[in-house]
Structure 1
Amino acid sequence: MNTSISLNGLWDFVVDLDPRYHTKPYYALPDWNRRHWSKVPVPGVWNLYDRRYDLFEGVGWFARELTLPPLPEGTTCLLRFGGVNYLCEVYLNGELAGTHEGGYTEFTVEVSHLVRSGRNVLAVRVDNRSLEMRLPPLLGYFNYGGIHRDVTLEVYPGAYLTDVGYEAYPEGEDGVLRLFGQAAKVEGGGYEVEVTCAGHTQREAVAPDGRFQLEWKVPGVTPWSPETPVLYPTRLTLQRGGQVEYQREFTVGFRRIAVRDRGVELNGKPLRFRGLCYVYDSPTYGLVMHPAQYETDLRLLQEMGANAIRSHFPLSEGFLHACDRAGILVWLEIPTYCIDTRLPHCRHAFTDPSLLQLALNMLEEMIRQARLHPSVCLYGIGNECDLNAPGAAEFFRQLATRARELDPTRLLSYACLYLFGVPDHLAELVDVVGLNEYWGWYDQVMDDDLPLETPPSSPPRTVDLRALQQLLDELATSCHKPVLLTEFGADSIPGYRSANRDFWSEDYHALLLRETLALADRYPFICGTFPFVFCDYRDPSKLVSAHWNGLNYKGVVTYERRKKLPFEAVREAYTQHKSGSSPPH
């Protein structure tokens, strides 16, 4: 039967300070002397291995040995990487096994033809140079480098599954489970899939091409929701003649999300997203999604009364499991982020077939992982791009089409900045329109060196949201789809309090969030809000100035997860609507 071997732990590591000169992969050679390499943890990011690597962008090499017993002829071996930022080359025993582009999605590399009994040497070349990056095309969050998620070796002596997904939804007192997938190495026939969920078992034959699908009613299930995040342990086996060749275990949540009458429903009931944007970054773990950090984050989110997060990039398997258990709804998106064709390196982005293929690959990798998680309810296909650029309409049409092919059960959205120039073709592609807006902030602090404090005699500062109100009034009649406020907020320097509610103070930040949330509540077609952002985080896009100093300060908690005054503003607003339904209008 299949086995999975964790390759997490200490690896050898070295940086390559002249990768353009070192054109041959000497560091991948099995017998290369690594006496002067460092021992480092994987998962990890080199920025935290040593102070000298904190701002390093370049090429790093990772290597480790693994000892394997003799394997039966025909055994399939796959290396699975949860996330490597950004470009990587994977070598086994000195031979190139595969490559990957993209920092946040899970991928596999087959190494069956390279595996030996006894000693094997695995080497991975990682390149996080920002000039080599295509998605995201610019750095709105810190550019960590390394193998930052789990690594496993999966061994399949016989038949196995290359893909599995499910659709599960409540129907009356019962649940309907439709499970589907693709099997490999099933030549000769006679294979069947057996699935046990909530104590009920179903079997189905595997087709000659390896495809299978089962659908049946599971009696007496509790629908999954933020209030009742009930999960049912599920076991899937692939067998022939009663002999199990492959087994996988996961959990199933029965829930249905849909758009109805300019609103969103979960299990047939109105749903209001009480969300926050979530740019994961940890002072202790960097980009590594460690349970000690994300469990703290989830507790703080629940204390605020939040039931949802929006991430700018795909998240780890462990974190998604935690959201399933906690009842936190998740918006995931690929980093098609701020593609602005006025920038020289983005000028032909939407007409570049290779960039479209990269985005499609990222989307597919994200969805194949996410569709096993009931917490994931929204896929974002882009954020603040130049939608009127040549080729943009076709670019996003292909992303939306592929997303619906892979998973028609979840909603699609796109986050538009101020909704300026949003073409009709985009609105028709998505189920929910996302609105990013920073009125009350960037329209007020364009001069970053304005004084931090106002004179003591000045009246307390107020928030001007007239432009937002005017836009929402227009959307009430011009937009026929639900709208989410997907970004809004201000920066506040931790600990800076101001009786006059000066810019950059926690007091002004809290007031802006409080008034924006109250304004959103007045419009029935707004089905949720996502203030930007949960925590302060490292942000290279912000100019170092009188106020910014390497961190984006829009968090309602600090980088170290200490509560700021805006935390209370969000908590007060969200706990008023803790039921999850839309507020009265």
Structure 2
Amino acid sequence: MLKNNYYIILLVVFVSVSTQAQDIFITNTQNRDFVSLNGKWKYVLDPYQTGGMGGMPVYKNYIPKDKSDRVEYGFNNGKTLWVPGSWNTQHPELTYFEGNIWYRRTFDKEDLSEDNRYFVHIGAANYRTTVTFNGEVLGSHEGGFTPFSFEITDLIKKEDNFLIIGVDNTRADDNIPSKVADWFNHGGIIRDVKLIETPSTFINNYFISLDASTLDQRTKQIKGNLELNGSSMPKQAQLIIPELRVNQDIAINPDGTAEFNALTKGMELWSPKNPKLYEVTLVAGKDTIRDQIGFRTIEIQEKQIVLNGKPIFLKGICLHDENPLRKDRANAIEDAELVLGWAQELGCNFIRLAHYPHQENIVRLADKLGILLWEELPLYWGIQWDNPEVLEKAKKQYTEMIDRDFNRASTVIWSIANETASIPDRNNFLGELADYIRSIDDTRLLSAAIKKDQELDGHPDSVYTYNDPLIEKLDIISINEYLGWYGGAPEETRKKSFEFGFEKPVIVSEFGGGALQGFYGDKRTRWSEEFQEYLYQESLAMFDKIDGLSGMAPWILVDFMSPLRQLPGVQDGWNRKGLISEKGRKKKAFFVLQKYYDKK
């Protein structure tokens, strides 16, 4: 009895000390001084989520002192996991594992400087993460797709440092996403881990964009905000953009914040046809940070999406953040190059990054290639709309995503939900979230994938109507429509038309159907490439009739992993709606959409 009580006390104490707030947000980690901590990490399985074994907290890294010492776990002789990476794909016994795994990485840092500060930065870990260093709990983070950092300046040593990170991917009703989602629950440290070194006072965040009011002026203006972190603030910083002849001093407030404006000369606007990026340098005290930033405007004019003052049709596709060839969560620039290369071959100028924040590499590469992006949180099936704590989680995760990607010209749409029913609690939740997002970023458009009214009242009309009150909060009406796949035959699309209760542009944010690559039949044979091809032909003709159609993003570029899809011999754990198979082979529907986009 005493033994059982001890374990309970250990768990309670561990949870209580590992709920500290995130230490600090650090943006643009790719262009800072850092040491990569990626590679093989030792791990300890913690399926009962106790945080300790044999009465010993795992994060203390206990090692037997002699042959009689009792230690009931161990990293040294244990198995390894690659970081970054999904644990589910690295060992067969972890394929569907949900629970807690503790990772350990040891390292030396011989060139420590007393004048600098040190941070552990994690690009993302799914879902709840506890970070410890040299036997001390630094804090915890919730959310499987956004970055976080903890300071270790007072703990780091020249030798024998040990970083132990516990990751728990257990699904729960009050998570974002909730308990059920149609994609694989990749557990673990899924993105880069870095040891970041900064001056004692440094630039931790900044927000730089084109002042839209100067779009039509010959001399355009840049506007921005700056955030410094440290105990002693310089009186001013500098903004330097040589190509635009900008070299401007910025007054720093005592709290380390600043607002600024800068006039430019000869600015080229960023667009898919001209993805121009400028080398931007910020200097504050001893800290210098560089970034590559494009300048553009995005707005709505009546029923059109307007980029840099000109209407644009978004030729898009949806995408999950996986490398299907490796059967793993995407985490490297090579993964981004693979899928964006496919998207460009398809003729896309737009990608919906579904249904959660993707790796930063893909957003930065989209900047370079001129691909517009839709980004979103997994506010999806089963969200607890009446739970104020879940709303606060959504705000926090959105803040982290916006902080990371604000300076990326490619990101033009924030989406706040996917396929959610219009009920009062949901409307209040998403309405408040929409207002919050606009309060921290007014440079982008807001949307959500909306359901048609007929799904709410069961009315099988030939005219689909959309009057969700949430649309009032949005810039764009986005709809998911699977007629011909979920109900009806593809030719029934010819009878359908669409009416919207709001005068706004429309994006078809999802449509499509499944096909097993290499399975052939006639156009009525479900799962054949011919069926998917026929469905695309009919669906595109249907959507072309929409008044105000401004873009589309069919579901989906490539087959992706999902435990909900288990039809033997066809799905086998894969959602088959991709235009490309998990082996990289294109299906017939790929070329239907390619031809359609070529004419747009």
Q: Same fold (TM over 0.5)?
A: yes
Q: CA deviation at 1:14?
A: 2.9
| 3-state SS of 1:507 partner | helix
Aligned position for 1:250: 291
Name the stretch that deviates more: 14-23 or 403-412.
Answer: 14-23
Q: Does structure 1 conserve the Cα–Cα contact (< 8 Å) formed by 2:330 and 2:336? A: no
* Alpha-carbon spacing, 1:544–1:197, altered in 2? closer, same or farther (3 Å): farther
Q: CA deviation at 1:151?
A: 1.1
**Residues 89-146 of structure 1: CA deviation (Å, up to 9, x unaligned):** 0000111101011111111222334333432110000111224771111121001111
1:443 matched to 2:487? The reply is yes
Aligned position for 1:521: 544
Distance 1:536 1:188 in 2: 51
Structure 2: runs of 5 or more not aligned:
1-30, 64-73, 457-465
| 3-state SS of 2:385 partner | helix
Q: CA deviation at 1:518?
A: 2.6
1:433 matched to 2:461? The reply is no
Aligned position for 2:75: 34
**Residues 435-473 of structure 1: CA deviation (Å, up to 9, x unaligned):** 0111111104xxxxxxxxxxxxxxxx8521156x23x1x
Name the stretch that deviates more: 559-568 or 156-165.
Answer: 156-165
1:181 matched to 2:226? The reply is yes
Q: CA deviation at 1:227?
A: 1.1
Aligned position for 2:378: 335
1:150 matched to 2:192? The reply is yes
Q: Does structure 2 conserve the Cα–Cα contact (< 8 Å) formed by 1:85 and 1:144? A: yes
Q: Report matched runs for 1:1-20 at 5 Å.
A: 3-20=33-50
Aligned position for 2:442: 408
Of 317, 320, 337, the residue aligned with 2:363 is 320
Distance 1:277 1:11 in 2: 33
| 3-state SS of 1:463 partner | helix
* Alpha-carbon spacing, 1:110–1:303, altered in 2? closer, same or farther (3 Å): same
**Residues 228-263 of structure 1: CA deviation (Å, up to 9, x unaligned):** 111111111112xxxxx1121111111110000111
Q: Report matched runs for 1:553-568 at 5 Å.
A: 553-568=576-591
Name the stretch that deviates more: 542-551 or 525-534.
Answer: 542-551
Q: Report matched runs for 1:52-451 at 5 Å.
A: 52-69=93-110, 71=112, 75-131=116-172, 134-137=175-178, 138-168=180-210, 170-185=215-230, 187=232, 189-198=234-243, 200=245, 201-239=247-285, 245-282=286-323, 283-284=325-326, 286-311=328-353, 312-339=355-382, 349-388=384-423, 390-419=424-453, 420-421=455-456, 425-444=469-488
Distance 1:293 1:511 in 2: 30
Distance 1:495 1:154 in 2: 47
Distance 1:412 1:334 in 2: 12
Q: Does structure 2 conserve the Cα–Cα contact (< 8 Å) formed by 1:314 and 1:334? A: yes
Distance 1:60 1:329 in 2: 37
**Residues 282-315 of structure 1: CA deviation (Å, up to 9, x unaligned):** 2315113322232121111111111111121101
Q: Does structure 1 conserve the Cα–Cα contact (< 8 Å) formed by 2:192 and 2:331? A: no
**Residues 202-225 of structure 1: CA deviation (Å, up to 9, x unaligned):** 221211121112212221122111
Aligned position for 1:507: 530
Of 531, 536, 556, the residue aligned with 2:554 is 531
Name the stretch that deviates more: 173-182 or 250-259.
Answer: 173-182
Distance 2:361 2:338 in 1: 14
Q: Does structure 1 conserve the Cα–Cα contact (< 8 Å) formed by 2:422 and 2:468? A: no
AA paired with 1:496? F
Given the two structures, how large is their TM-score scaled by the length of structure 1? 0.88
* Alpha-carbon spacing, 1:533–1:2, altered in 2? closer, same or farther (3 Å): closer
Q: Does structure 2 conserve the Cα–Cα contact (< 8 Å) formed by 1:139 and 1:540? A: no
* Alpha-carbon spacing, 1:498–1:363, altered in 2? closer, same or farther (3 Å): same
**Residues 454-502 of structure 1: CA deviation (Å, up to 9, x unaligned):** xxxxxxx8521156x23x1x22xx3211111101111111112223442
Distance 1:514 1:383 in 2: 25
Distance 1:329 1:562 in 2: 25
Distance 1:171 1:15 in 2: 59
Distance 2:279 2:362 in 1: 18
Aligned position for 1:542: 565
Q: Does structure 1 conserve the Cα–Cα contact (< 8 Å) formed by 2:421 and 2:451? A: no
Q: CA deviation at 1:424?
A: 5.0
Q: Does structure 2 conserve the Cα–Cα contact (< 8 Å) formed by 1:255 and 1:267? A: yes
RMSD of Structure 2 on Structure 1 (CA): 2.3
**Residues 406-455 of structure 1: CA deviation (Å, up to 9, x unaligned):** 110000001013354566531111100110111111104xxxxxxxxxxx
Q: CA deviation at 1:350?
A: 1.3
Q: Does structure 1 conserve the Cα–Cα contact (< 8 Å) formed by 2:36 and 2:194? A: yes
